[in-house]
Structure 1
Amino acid sequence: MPAGDLECCGTPCPLPLEPAIHDLASRILGLAPSCGPVRLVGVDGHAGSGKSTFAGRLAEALDGAPVLRLDDIASHAEPFGWTGRLRSQVIEPLARGETARYSPYDWRACRFGPLRPLPPAPVVVVEGVGAGRRALRPYLALLLWMDLPREESWSRGRARDGAEQREFWDGWVRAEREHFAGDPSRPFAGLLVRQRPTGYELLPGPAGTAESPPPLTQGDGPPAMW
């Protein structure tokens, strides 16, 4: 059974969402749209830092908000050179209030697949390494950074993907180092997300402003865990 799941009638089912994530979702819905009618929320961090899991939980709290995974936009040939494709296939249509259509990349077949629709929902979560990059930040309502050190993140990612992906990871680490050296995301995050044994801790980010959600707390206690 996957870690963090409950057993429902003999099959795994997800843990119920706790109040803090609903609070964050409510505050996100209170932000001004940032890309046409859409509030784009970026979830960035090093590869292996837990972005996909966190983005999925947040999307669930946002009544099933669409999640755009940047793994579908990147490719072997362009691990970070995808801003033009993202702009033309996703950003520009959403900014016009239209349904975006993008071609997700198949990392095993090494080719782009058929077009996939992405509607202009009230919130779209953009998850992946580079979600807070310079070219994308003007369109974000909020940037969240998964605050796990890069070496620990990469170790987790390598363990997750196994020996068959060792060569890919060697190349990816070099590319990610180069990307963040020239275009860092963490300094522009409104909130930092730290994974704890009992959930996640949300802390004010380096770029926290009056418009960004403040750290989530319950009463006078420590930052919220969920």
Structure 2
Amino acid sequence: MLDAVRSLAAANPVVLIDGRSGAGKSSLARTLVARWPLSGRVQLVALDSLYPGWDGLDEGVELARQQILAPHARGLIGVWQRWDWETGAPAEAHAVDPSLPLILEGSGLLTDETRRLGDVRVWLEAPASSRRARALARDGDTYRPHWEQWARQEARHVTRDEPARLATHVFEVP
């Protein structure tokens, strides 16, 4: 992925990282930020901060497309609101600088609409048992009652959008 970013010869490339819950998206994104191959800083946005609740996978992706990816592609500042999971309502706003590189990660991210807006597109594939163990170790009892509900939305995304087909890079994660 580092070579792919370097080869773009762009000052503000966009990296999209998709995969089901627990596949390693956030870990990969943080590693990519730490090892960013270009000079200057890179912005990282996790869709976990945008999804409007446990039934909001598709809506969160659409918010990311409208408020972050499309403005970034047009050279405009994008503004998105963080979803406050405790209150179940939008919270503070954040800006995305179109002159800076951007890494966006989250389940459901690779669609026909978003692929045009990402220079490097990653799909992470991992066995359900490993993903579930990682996700529940990370989020515990907060996530446990919603695992199946969220997994159904992810399965719908995989069937409908075929994200592995849209990816420039596919990685198998144990």
TM range (shorter): 0.7 to 0.9
Tell whether the 8 Å contact from 2:81 to 2:92 is kept in structure 1 after alignment: yes
Judged with a 3 Å threshold, the aligned counterparts in structure 2 of structure 1 residues 78 and 164 are, in CA distance, closer, same or farther, namely closer
**More helix by percentage:** 2
Residue in 2 that maps onto 1:210: none
Cα deviation, residue 156, structure 1: 2.1
The root-mean-square deviation of aligned C-alpha atoms, in Å, is: 2.2
Larger Rg over CA atoms = 1
| 1:136 alignment partner, SS class | helix
Asked if residue 190 in structure 1 is aligned to residue 168 in structure 2, the reply is yes
Cα distance in structure 1, aligned partners of 2:149 and 2:134: 16
Residue in 2 that maps onto 1:71: 48
Structure 2 counterparts to residues 105-124 of structure 1, below 5 A:
105-124=83-102
Residue in 2 that maps onto 1:43: 17
Percent identity reads 24
TM-score with structure 2 length normalisation? 0.84
Asked if residue 59 in structure 1 is aligned to residue 43 in structure 2, the reply is no
Structure 2 counterparts to residues 6-21 of structure 1, below 5 A:
none
Structure 2 counterparts to residues 103-182 of structure 1, below 5 A:
103-182=81-160
| 2:72 alignment partner, SS class | helix
Tell whether the 8 Å contact from 1:46 to 1:154 is kept in structure 2 after alignment: no
Q: Give the partner amino acid of 2:112.
A: R
Q: Give the partner amino acid of 1:158.
A: L
Q: Give the partner amino acid of 1:25.
A: L
Tell whether the 8 Å contact from 2:79 to 2:95 is kept in structure 1 after alignment: yes
Structure 2 counterparts to residues 74-89 of structure 1, below 5 A:
74-76=51-53, 77-89=55-67
Q: How many residues align?
A: 170
| 2:58 alignment partner, SS class | coil
| 1:108 alignment partner, SS class | coil
Tell whether the 8 Å contact from 1:38 to 1:95 is kept in structure 2 after alignment: no
Cα deviation, residue 121, structure 1: 3.9
Judged with a 3 Å threshold, the aligned counterparts in structure 2 of structure 1 residues 104 and 45 are, in CA distance, closer, same or farther, namely same
Cα distance in structure 1, aligned partners of 2:134 and 2:62: 30
Query: What 5-or-longer segments of structure 2 have no aligned partner?
Result: none
Residue in 2 that maps onto 1:91: 69
| 2:134 alignment partner, SS class | helix
Residue in 1 that maps onto 2:78: 100
Judged with a 3 Å threshold, the aligned counterparts in structure 2 of structure 1 residues 131 and 99 are, in CA distance, closer, same or farther, namely same
Choose 56-65 or 76-85, whichever is displaced more. 76-85
| 2:159 alignment partner, SS class | helix
